[in-house]
Structure 1
């Protein structure tokens, strides 16, 4: 029985000692971090679009449910085309941001039908920017660790 690290719904990491066919293959942590970074960037674009359209009559604000989007991104495995039988199989993440978008419910209705709540959008924009920087730093730290591990130990 080999221990595997798993992620709980609240974002914490836990050790899982289960094994067998009922348990899926462990996730690649670098892949998780890269996908989280891509989703944070997509969400930032969507929030910026909401802020830009705050005065557009009839505009419906959209957002991404990050937890659900990341879960579906980790489950979505698109096989890569191999040109040779000796190539290793791999997967790439390809998901449209439009498929992840959901309409935001306004806290208060407006006369022009616009559902953008500027206070909420600014807060979510700032929060997502901080989490994007964190995800970027984590991915950068991992790259530095790989570089250090592959360097000459006598230096």
Structure 2
């Protein structure tokens, strides 16, 4: 019974957890907008959610190479850079941290674009609130079913 309940709520739980992590990263980018050599970080939400849900279901995450010479390993978004010559940094849950490629170079080598960061922060905030609203309505629906529609 508890397993089915977990399965029923897993999508929203995972989604909200990733949104929270992304919000922290975006806030860190905004806070470090004037820090020399700071590299703006983000996650690819769609692939992170897909990977987290696949991992939760026990299915292996599919990896896709875009060229014949690519080595097998963790994937990153096509418009982002990895954390260095080796593997990308990862969050504690295994989500790869991506570094934003700057649209325009800065003298201090900072890659934070405040307009982009503010837009991403506001968008992520709204989507987080929508996730909470959907989860709340899902729980209310379950309570209504348990109580017999009173």
Question: Using the alignment, how far apart are the partners of 1:131 and 1:152 within structure 2?
Answer: 31
Partner residue of 1:108?
Answer: 104
- Report which structure shows greater RCO (CA 8 Å, sep ≥6): 2
User: Any residues of structure 2 matched to 1:3-152 within 5 Å, and which?
Assistant: 28-77=7-56, 96=92, 99-152=95-148
Unaligned runs of 5+ in 2: 1-6, 59-90
TM-score of the superposed pair, with normalisation by structure 1: 0.67
Query: Greater strand share, 1 or 2?
Result: 1
Q: What CA deviation, in whole Å up to 9, does each residue of 1:125-147 have, x standing for no partner?
A: 00000000001110111111111
SS at match of 2:98: strand
Distance 1:99 1:139 in 2: 23
Aligned pairs, number: 113
- Unaligned residue ranges in structure 1 (runs of 5+): 1-27, 80-94
CA distance in 2, matches of 1:46, 1:66: 12
Structure 2 Cα separation of the partners of residues 121 and 97 of structure 1? 23
User: Going by fraction, where is helix more abundant, 1 or 2?
Assistant: 2
Q: What RMSD in Å do the two structures reach over aligned CA positions?
A: 2.1
The CA distance in 1 between the partners of 2:94 and 2:8, in whole Å, is 25
